[in-house]
């Protein structure tokens, strides 16, 4: 069995990883970031499946879970890192969201994470908001996603005749 998501030769640089020179990327091909290869449609669909299988709604998170959070550098660049949840609390003041016709009231959850280097981060969102969580069993989910990849056609669609366990 393959141990990673399927890739194919980058169509932009034909596998060299280099492309015409520009100030931002120098001569590095931005489609494949210089790797010379990109995820195939099948690999992309399987990777998406894997990420979704590792995503849980806020209401399912526990203190001690590790999640990916985002922050800004002093110069304004966005970056993400994996941080540990130290606190989960329910807001006592309602927020509102509108679906266009009616406005609904909800009490958001606040998830606080702490990272030894990047410090504290807070995320406030409704219960159904999903985040990528890093738990034991990720390897199992990866194996499942790779098995799923085997069942996909070249265009990344499940074969009709294949049953997924």
Q: What is the Cα Rg of the chain in Å?
A: 20
Q: Which stretch binds Zn ion (CB under 5 A): 8-16, 50-58, 108-116, 150-158?
A: 8-16
The minimum distance between CB 20 and Zn ion, in angstroms, equals 12
Contact between 117 and 67 (Cβ < 8 Å)? no
The minimum distance between CB 26 and Zn ion, in angstroms, equals 13
In a 10 Å sphere around its CB, with 0-12 CB exposed, 13-18 middle and 19+ buried, how is residue 66 labelled?
middle
Residues 98-127 that bind Zn ion (CB under 5 A): none
Nearer to Zn ion, 10 or 133 (CB): 10
Nearer to Zn ion, 39 or 61 (CB): 39
The minimum distance between CB 6 and Zn ion, in angstroms, equals 16
CB atoms within 10 A of CB 89: 12
Nearer to Zn ion, 41 or 129 (CB): 41
Residues 10-49 that bind Zn ion (CB under 5 A): 10, 12-13, 29, 31-32
CA distance 59 to 54: 14
Query: Which of 110, 54, 43, 45 has its CA nearest to residue 82?
Result: 54
Binding site for Zn ion (CB under 5 A): 10, 12-13, 29, 31-32
């Amino acid at each position: 069995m393959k141990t990673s998501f399927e890739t194919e030769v980058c169509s932009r640089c034909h596998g060299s990883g280099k492309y015409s020179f520009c100030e931002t990327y120098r001569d590095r091909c931005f489609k494949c970031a210089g790797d010379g290869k990109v995820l195939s449609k099948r690999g992309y669909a399987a990777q998406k499946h894997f990420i979704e299988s590792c995503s849980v709604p806020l209401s399912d998170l526990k203190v001690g879970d590790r999640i990916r959070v985002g922050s800004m550098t002093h110069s304004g660049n966005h970056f993400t890192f994996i941080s540990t949840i130290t606190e989960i609390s329910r807001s006592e003041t309602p927020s509102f969201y509108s679906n266009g016709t009616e406005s609904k009231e909800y009490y958001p959850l606040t998830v606080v994470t702490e990272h030894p280097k990047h410090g504290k981060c807070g995320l406030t969102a409704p219960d159904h908001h999903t985040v990528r969580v890093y738990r034991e069993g990720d390897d199992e989910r990866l194996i499942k996603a790779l098995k799923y990849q085997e069942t996909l056609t070249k265009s990344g669609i499940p074969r009709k005749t294949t049953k997924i366990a």
